[in-house]
């Protein structure tokens, strides 16, 4: 047997062990019909990213589940990969080129894409290598990329199928436009934030009625250039007479109608709403109902495109100029401060501009229905359940999905346009001839697909779909998706409706939701606050196991957690505890000799810890099956630290050190058996330290990773011994409490009398005499039915089953204790004199702050209480 190093140093073992796992292909999952499959797909991190605490938590949870199932004998696949992250990568590469003095447009599409692939090659695996340091046991042999050949084939196939089914169409609808990235973005990529702004109240003159106006209020006065109507509620009595009349649109030469639409809230504002169909989603719907024109007033970079005075101005520059002109014309009624919710792009944080543009869309009405049915029928469930309501609410209010992006990096839309007659053809490859005019001059659509279009296919595209691979047949549907609550809309819903549409199956039966990792003050970690903590820094200082344990301690599905460095220290301390206990056991193993041990050879204490381990195995297995990962870890930690290390190891030490003890082999067998099972239960949470100890502790198995998960065994259940040992533990705690209250050092041994009229109780103490004496700091243990022969001044420690008596003189050296207490009394007398004098000083009371006076009064009360205790103790001793 090898020997563990004296001190636990994760830096010495983690990289070495991870390389061992990779060489041994222990992460690799094969199609094996003899085993049950279990599969998880890794939410693919962006190739622009680096590991942050959210990744660390998400991947730790997945790794726990996959290691647990692997040990249970499943063919467990954790499918890894990365996402091309269209917008983020394009921005990164564009900025890199700028720094090198290269213009993206001058480089051209093909040249730019070469640079993107260079980026992917250089930085695309950064986060993967960082996940290695975390201990992630994903099947790296199967690593995928959303733009690899297979995934790209799947994307194209889905686009064509949906188009042929009539679910994908090209049309002009209101979309979210980012003027900085100059691309459309989905609703899910818009972050809403409260901003301080204004309501500008503007008069629109009624045509033909001099001096009569309609007053509207707007947060975006520049958009009036695109107004095509003013709407009022049809039931608003104030405006019945103007419905159908025309208004002179300020700053333009146009006239627009007053229309009646129930969309208008007559209680809000003036009850008159300007309708700009090309720049507001609600106005767009009103415009459709009333056949209003859609006038787009902005260029792609948010400059005014309407001919006239404001042409070419930035939207905010134009706003200022228009407000000044309205003021000069006497049409600006008032400006009222107004805090309102503004949509910004989650990538660049630019204020998003709603605009009507020709884009590609997916019809969602029909595709949403089976995804709704899945949650209602229980084919899909969320942990916690409450997130199912969020999922359902979003699906029941879903709008058509804008899937086109004005980017070069990504999956290019497979639509081709005849340059001779304009005919559009959607096909896998560029057509040879135009089906309409017979010519062969085609150009492909410039747009690419939304990144979420490809990642929506991730659970099945990574397994080889649309090909009917054996992996797809065996591992799909996957079992559980682990993700944060912040991307339910982005990704989870799209995977569900895509999976059902393309495969007829829900892609996973469970979605395990976790919260965010916040800083110690409860704030979200961000660059702007500078409060982010790099997981790699934590790993370098404390090791991956300590980080993983910290992230899982107290973790509950769906709840945010706070990161404390003190908690990392506690995790590292636990690792040290496990390491030192293991070293102690391994140093004593040879004392067992060659003797065979059976359950009949075990002592009461041995059976107690074995039974406790047995119950723990059942509980932890149930917790993991319910995805209660934090609870499972806490139970394992409490057992190892308290029951095993603090109690059982201390119980057996007298047996190990006594050469004549015939139960030594039983003790060693129990120590090793419980340690091995404890390591296995701990392994999914702390893989490195458990592997290192396991490797050195036994020689039968090469790695703990594929060793068998412990199972509950009825023959290891010893209820009677559990109750008996818990009785002894309670007695020991009671004795220790008494000794602590009297400031008795552990090194001072004293005789202990155990008194009980119950013979079975006395029998338990007799059987446990050796370790009870050791744990209770007893020089001798005497069991009896009454108090006969026990000194009258003996100190008592009471439990429900027995009373322990300890002769006072054996606990305390009376002369020395009196001397110590006299010194303490003298010191307290000085403090009382000082404090009383200060509080009787009128100048102090008049000039000192109230807090200072209150603090001194509290001190005096404390000194008086301490003095009373010292005098009482002295009086007792002097008797």
Task: Using DSSP, state whether 340 is helix, strand or coil.
Answer: strand
Q: Give the integer Cα–Cα distance in Å for 111 and 115.
A: 7
What is the DSSP-derived secondary structure letter of residue 429?
S
Q: Give the integer Cα–Cα distance in Å for 772 and 760.
A: 16
| Nearest to 48, CA basis, from 136, 140, 146 | 146
The b/e string for 345-364 (b: 16+ C-beta within 10 A; e otherwise) is bebeeebbbbbbbebbbbeb
Q: Are 55 and 127 in contact (CB under 8 A)?
A: yes
Q: Give the integer Cα–Cα distance in Å for 277 and 296.
A: 9
Q: Is the peptide bond before 235 cis (omega within 30 degrees of 0)?
A: no
What is the DSSP-derived secondary structure letter of residue 3?
-
Q: What angle do CA 35, 39, 43 make, to 5 degrees?
A: 165
The HSE-up count of residue 50 (CA atoms within 13 Å, CB side) is 7
Orientation of helix 544-552 relative to helix 10-23, angle to 10°: 90
Q: Are 11 and 451 in contact (CB under 8 A)?
A: no
Q: Is 595 annotated as a binding residue?
A: no
Task: Using DSSP, state whether 194 is helix, strand or coil.
Answer: strand
Q: Are 864 and 829 in contact (CB under 8 A)?
A: no
Q: Are 563 and 515 in contact (CB under 8 A)?
A: no
Query: For the chain, percent helix, then strand, then coil, each to nearest 5?
Result: 50, 20, 35
Residues with Cβ < 8 Å from 60, sequence gap 6 or more? 134, 547, 548, 551, 552
Residues with Cβ < 8 Å from 645, sequence gap 6 or more? 577, 578, 581
Task: Using DSSP, state whether 155 is helix, strand or coil.
Answer: helix
Q: Give the integer Cα–Cα distance in Å for 875 and 879.
A: 7
Residues with Cβ < 8 Å from 328, sequence gap 6 or more? none
Q: Are 172 and 357 in contact (CB under 8 A)?
A: yes
Q: Are 181 and 494 in contact (CB under 8 A)?
A: no
Sign of CA dihedral 602, 604, 605, 611: positive
Counting every residue written for the chain, the total comes to 879
CA distances from 741 to 298, 737, 738, 745 (A): 79, 6, 5, 11
| Nearest to 224, CA basis, from 318, 138, 112 | 318
Q: Give the integer Cα–Cα distance in Å for 783 and 766.
A: 7
Binding-site residues for ATP sit at: 527
Binding-site residues, in ranges, read: 527
């Amino acid at each position: 047997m090898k020997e563990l190093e004296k001190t636990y140093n994760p830096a010495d073992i983690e990289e070495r062990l991870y390389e061992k796992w990779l060489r041994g292909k222990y992460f690799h999952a094969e199609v094996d019909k003899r085993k049950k499959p279990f599969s998880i797909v890794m939410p693919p991190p962006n190739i622009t990213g680096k590991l942050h605490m959210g990744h660390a938590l998400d991947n730790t949870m997945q790794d726990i589940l996959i290691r647990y199932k692997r040990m249970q004998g499943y063919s467990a696949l954790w499918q890894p990969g990365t996402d091309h992250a269209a917008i983020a990568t394009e921005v990164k590469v564009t900025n890199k080129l700028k720094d090198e003095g290269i213009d993206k447009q001058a480089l051209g599409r093909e040249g730019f894409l070469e640079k993107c692939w260079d980026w992917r090659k250089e930085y695309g695996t950064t986060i993967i290598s960082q996940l290695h340091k975390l201990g992630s046991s994903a099947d790296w042999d199967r690593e995928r990329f959303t733009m690899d050949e297979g995934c790209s084939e799947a994307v194209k196939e889905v686009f064509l199928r949906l188009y042929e089914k009539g679910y994908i169409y090209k049309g002009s609808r209101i979309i979210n436009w980012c003027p900085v990235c100059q691309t459309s973005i989905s609703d899910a990529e818009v972050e809403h934030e409260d901003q301080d702004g204004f309501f500008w109240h503007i008069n629109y003159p009624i045509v033909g009625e001099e001096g009569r106006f309609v007053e509207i209020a707007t947060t975006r006065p520049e958009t009036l250039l695109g107004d095509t109507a003013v709407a009022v509620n049809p039931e608003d009595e104030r405006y019945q007479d103007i419905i159908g009349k025309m208004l002179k649109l300020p700053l333009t030469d146009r006239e627009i109608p007053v229309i009646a639409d129930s969309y208008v809230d007559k209680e809000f504002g003036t009850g008159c709403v300007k309708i700009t169909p090309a720049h507001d989603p609600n106005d767009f719907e009103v415009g459709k109902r009333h056949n209003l024109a859609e006038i787009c007033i902005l260029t792609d970079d948010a400059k005014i495109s309407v001919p006239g005075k404001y042409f070419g101005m930035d939207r905010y520059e134009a706003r200022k100029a228009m407000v000044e002109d309205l003021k000069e014309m006497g049409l600006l009624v008032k400006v009222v401060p107004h805090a309102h919710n503004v949509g910004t792009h989650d990538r660049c944080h630019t204020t998003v501009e709603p605009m009507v543009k020709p884009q590609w869309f997916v019809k969602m009405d029909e595709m949403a229905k089976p995804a709704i049915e899945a949650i209602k029928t229980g084919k899909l469930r969320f942990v916690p359940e409450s997130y199912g309501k969020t999922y359902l609410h979003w699906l029941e209010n879903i709008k058509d999905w804008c899937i086109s992006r004005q980017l070069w990096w990504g999956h290019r839309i497979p639509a081709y346009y005849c340059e001779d007659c304009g005919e559009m053809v959607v096909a896998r490859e560029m057509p040879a001839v135009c089906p309409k005019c017979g010519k062969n001059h085609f150009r492909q659509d410039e747009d690419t697909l939304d990144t979420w279009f490809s990642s929506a296919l991730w659970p099945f595209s990574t397994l080889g779909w649309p090909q009917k691979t054996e992996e797809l047949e065996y591992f799909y549907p996957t079992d559980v998706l682990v993700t944060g609550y912040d991307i339910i809309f982005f990704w989870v819903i799209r995977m569900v409706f895509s999976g059902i549409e393309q495969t007829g199956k829900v892609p996973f039966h469970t979605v395990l939701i976790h919260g965010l990792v916040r800083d110690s003050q409860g704030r979200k970690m961000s660059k702007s606050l500078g409060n982010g903590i790099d997981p790699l820094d934590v790993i370098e200082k404390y090791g991956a196991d300590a980080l993983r344990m910290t992230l899982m301690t107290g973790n509950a599905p769906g709840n945010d957690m706070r990161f404390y460095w003190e908690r990392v220290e506690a995790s590292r301390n636990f690792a040290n505890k496990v390491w030192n206990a293991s070293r102690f056991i391994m140093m004593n193993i040879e004392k067992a000799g060659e003797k065979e041990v059976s359950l009949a050879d075990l002592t009461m204490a041995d059976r107690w810890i074995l039974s406790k381990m047995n119950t723990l195995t059942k509980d932890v297995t149930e917790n993991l099956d319910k995805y209660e990962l934090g609870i499972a870890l806490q139970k394992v930690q409490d057992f190892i630290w308290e029951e095993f290390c603090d109690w059982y190891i201390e119980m057996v030490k007298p047996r190990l050190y006594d050469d004549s003890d015939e139960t030594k082999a039983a003790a060693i067998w129990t120590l090793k058996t419980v340690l091995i099972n404890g390591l296995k239960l701990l392994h999914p949470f702390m893989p490195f330290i458990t592997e290192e100890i396991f490797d050195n502790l036994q020689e039968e198995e090469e790695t703990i990773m594929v060793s068998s998960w412990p199972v509950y065994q009825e023959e290891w259940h010893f209820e009677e011994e559990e109750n008996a040992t818990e009785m002894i533990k309670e007695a020991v705690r009671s004795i220790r409490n008494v000794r602590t209250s009297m400031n008795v050092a552990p090194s001072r041994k004293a005789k202990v009398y155990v008194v009980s009229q119950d013979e079975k109780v006395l029998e338990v103490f007799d059987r446990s005499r050796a370790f009870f004496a050791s744990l209770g700091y007893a020089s001798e243990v005497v069991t009896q039915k009454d108090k006969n022969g026990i000194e009258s001044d003996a100190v008592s420690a009471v439990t429900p089953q027995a009373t322990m008596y300890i002769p006072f003189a054996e606990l305390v050296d009376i002369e020395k204790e009196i001397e110590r207490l006299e010194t303490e009394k003298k010191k307290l007398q000085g403090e009382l004199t000082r404090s009383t004098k200060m509080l009787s000083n009128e100048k102090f009371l008049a000039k000192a702050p109230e807090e200072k006076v209150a603090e001194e009064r509290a001190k005096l009360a404390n000194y008086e209480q301490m003095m009373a205790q010292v005098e009482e103790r002295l009086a007792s001793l002097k008797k």
